[in-house]
Structure 1
Amino acid sequence: MLNALSTAKFSALKSELNAGPVPMLQWIEVEKLVVDSGYQREMSTRGQSNVRRIAEGFDWSKFAPVIVAPVEGGRFAVVDGQHRTTAAMLRGFETVPCQVVQADRAKQAEAFAAVNGHVTKIQPQQIFYARLTAGDPQALAIAEVCAAAEVSISRKSLGRHRVRKGQTQSVAALQQCLDKFGRDTLITALQCITQTGDGNAGSVRGKIVEALCLVLTENPQWRDAGSALFEAMDDFDFIVTWDEVMVSATSHLCQPVVPEIADRIRKHLSRKFKPAKRAA
């Protein structure tokens, strides 16, 4: 769905406007771009990995204009966009689109801090839906698993008491479990939550799902028990388990959460699936 931009939700601005000179948009040769080490961060190992990622999937539709400011010698200081400019260079491009702002060195540093310090954090769920719209295979696989288990990935972060049955924010954990344990085990683990009790709203949490996957992988006879598994899990209290384990983990620093949850699930199912007595 396409929605028009709107300012209806905002109250009137109180500050006077002093936006500075209107910037120019132009393509500039990368050889004319320089980095001021006085305020620019040195490219870290993580930054180098980011450059390689951009270069590997280089696409102009994903390339925001580089913010630059004129400096002496006909050159331009990069205020924002060092990584993507370096990636463009790796791909052999000699020019990049730039937004040229009029700013002295102090103003450049201020702009750098503003651009990199006041960034709205994009939630993993938002990235997931963007990838899903783009037809990303991994996102499509997660969506298929969720549909089979009656799970939905919320588009925004929700407080515990606002999460409905089947809703989750743990998209990264779902991807990790899918990669590690496989589609069928993950679906069954999710169904152990959504298809038991009252639906266990707020319990489709990454660590709980991982613990379930771990136990079901270790005990394929339970995983393949069908409706008997869900009946066995029907009276397992995920919320109480989560709260008790998290309190314990807080009081005992570094106590691993997933193994503890897995141990409680394992003991619960061991009581439910008692070995059949041998005939005399």
Structure 2
Amino acid sequence: MTKSLRPVSDLVDAWLRKQHPEGRIIHPADTVVEYRLVPVESLVIDRLYQRALSAKGRSTVARIISDFSWLKFGAISVSHHDGKLAVIDGQHRAIAAAAIGINHVPALVSLADASGAAEADAFVGINDVRTTVTPVDKFRAKVAAGDPQAVELADILRELDISTDIVPGTPLRPRQTRSISALYKLIKAHGRGIVFTSLEILLDGQEDNPEALSSLNIQAVAEVTERVVKAGGDIDRLARVIEETDFDPLAESARQLRKISGGAMNSHAATMLIRAYDKGLRNSKLGSAPA
């Protein structure tokens, strides 16, 4: 078996040892369900508990349609209600399927004729216990799927010994980052060289700062690094600026500038770093960063 694959039974045993050392849990299901293909025309949405289709919801439906895959579609959850099948979970997927002319969709069907209250309780329960997919989880999935930028970013993180394995709610330590989404956008926009150099400069200049690899710091330094490289500037000079910068006051100043004049905090921070880089130079090739 591939090293990354683990039997579900092993994971259950590990969980039980921590949560229920007395043994396995006996908890019979309260409702009989079955898996089957159901006709889309039989599906209904109960507005007593289901949200109306918002702008975000319409965007979700459009994304499902444009990137349709049965592997991503999964199975919706439905229950019998007044001769129809009320959708408990999967409203957006059901609408997308209908929009592209799919006649039947996979569903987990409750065989009991549920009341509206029971359906609403199931809807809340499903959404309450569902595990949120974190940006790091999405990134790892992209790496596993062979996404070129994700694979390239994973190589950079490995080479620079940067960890994204952080327990939720715990403070960062040096060489840790939660800013995987920002890094992924940067590598798509600027490529490996700028991202690698920016991270290396931050790590070398702020090696004891646990917040060195914050999203703000990474984006600001990447913006300045790109400008220095394009202008044929001095990367060593930039490295000294990063080493001498106190990033806490920098972030606060960027925050205040955003309140006063708008714009993005990382662009304000980049402008201040450029000013520090230019200090003492007779002629600057960089100019000012856009706010």
Q: Give the distance between the partners of 1:247 and 1:82, measured in 2 at CA.
A: 39
Residue 21 in structure 1 maps to residue 24 in structure 2 = no
Contact 1:216 1:222 in 2 (8 A): no
* Aligned match of 1:268: 276
Identity percentage over the alignment? Answer: 27
Q: Give the distance between the partners of 1:120 and 1:20, measured in 2 at CA.
A: 22
Cα distance, 1:69 vs structure 2:
0.8
Deviations 1:158-179 (A, max 9, x none): 633x4232x2111111123334
* Aligned match of 1:235: 244
Residue 121 in structure 1 maps to residue 132 in structure 2 = yes
Contact 2:225 2:235 in 1 (8 A): no
- 86, 93, 99: which is aligned to 1:84? 93
- 2, 11, 21: which is aligned to 1:5? 11
Name the stretch that deviates more: 250-259 or 198-207. Answer: 250-259
Alpha-carbon distance change, 149 to 238 in structure 1, aligned in 2, over 3 angstroms: farther
Contact 2:228 2:234 in 1 (8 A): no
Residue 173 in structure 1 maps to residue 176 in structure 2 = no
Alpha-carbon distance change, 151 to 12 in structure 1, aligned in 2, over 3 angstroms: closer
Q: Which SS does the other structure have where 2:245 is aligned?
A: coil
* Aligned match of 1:137: 148
Q: Give the distance between the partners of 2:167 and 2:232, measured in 1 at CA.
A: 32
Q: Give the distance between the partners of 1:251 and 1:89, measured in 2 at CA.
A: 45
Q: Give the distance between the partners of 2:57 and 2:39, measured in 1 at CA.
A: 22
Deviations 1:68-89 (A, max 9, x none): 111223x211111111122233
Q: Which amino acid is 1:111 matched to? A: A
Alpha-carbon distance change, 91 to 9 in structure 1, aligned in 2, over 3 angstroms: farther
Q: Which SS does the other structure have where 2:19 is aligned?
A: coil
Deviations 1:70-120 (A, max 9, x none): 1223x2111111111222333433211111112222101111122224432
Cα distance, 1:245 vs structure 2:
4.1
Q: Which SS does the other structure have where 2:31 is aligned?
A: coil
Contact 2:35 2:107 in 1 (8 A): yes
Alpha-carbon distance change, 134 to 236 in structure 1, aligned in 2, over 3 angstroms: same
Alpha-carbon distance change, 90 to 247 in structure 1, aligned in 2, over 3 angstroms: closer
Q: Give the distance between the partners of 2:217 and 2:129, measured in 1 at CA.
A: 34
Q: Give the distance between the partners of 1:88 and 1:262, measured in 2 at CA.
A: 45
Q: Which amino acid is 1:159 matched to? A: T
Alpha-carbon distance change, 85 to 138 in structure 1, aligned in 2, over 3 angstroms: farther
* Aligned match of 1:57: 67
Q: Give the distance between the partners of 1:233 and 1:253, measured in 2 at CA.
A: 25
Q: Give the distance between the partners of 1:228 and 1:252, measured in 2 at CA.
A: 30
* Aligned match of 2:224: 215
Contact 1:222 1:229 in 2 (8 A): no
Structure 2: where are the runs of 5+ without partners? 284-291
Q: Which SS does the other structure have where 2:11 is aligned?
A: coil
Q: Give the distance between the partners of 1:163 and 1:223, measured in 2 at CA.
A: 34
Cα RMSD, aligned residues only: 3.4
Alpha-carbon distance change, 224 to 135 in structure 1, aligned in 2, over 3 angstroms: farther
Contact 2:38 2:105 in 1 (8 A): yes
Q: Aligned ranges for residues 36-115 of structure 1 at < 5 Å?
A: 36-73=46-83, 75-101=84-110, 102=112, 103-115=114-126
Q: Which runs of 4+ in 1 moved over 6 A?
A: 249-255
Contact 2:77 2:87 in 1 (8 A): yes
Q: Give the distance between the partners of 2:232 and 2:187, measured in 1 at CA.
A: 15
Q: Give the distance between the partners of 1:248 and 1:9, measured in 2 at CA.
A: 47
Q: Give the distance between the partners of 2:237 and 2:228, measured in 1 at CA.
A: 14
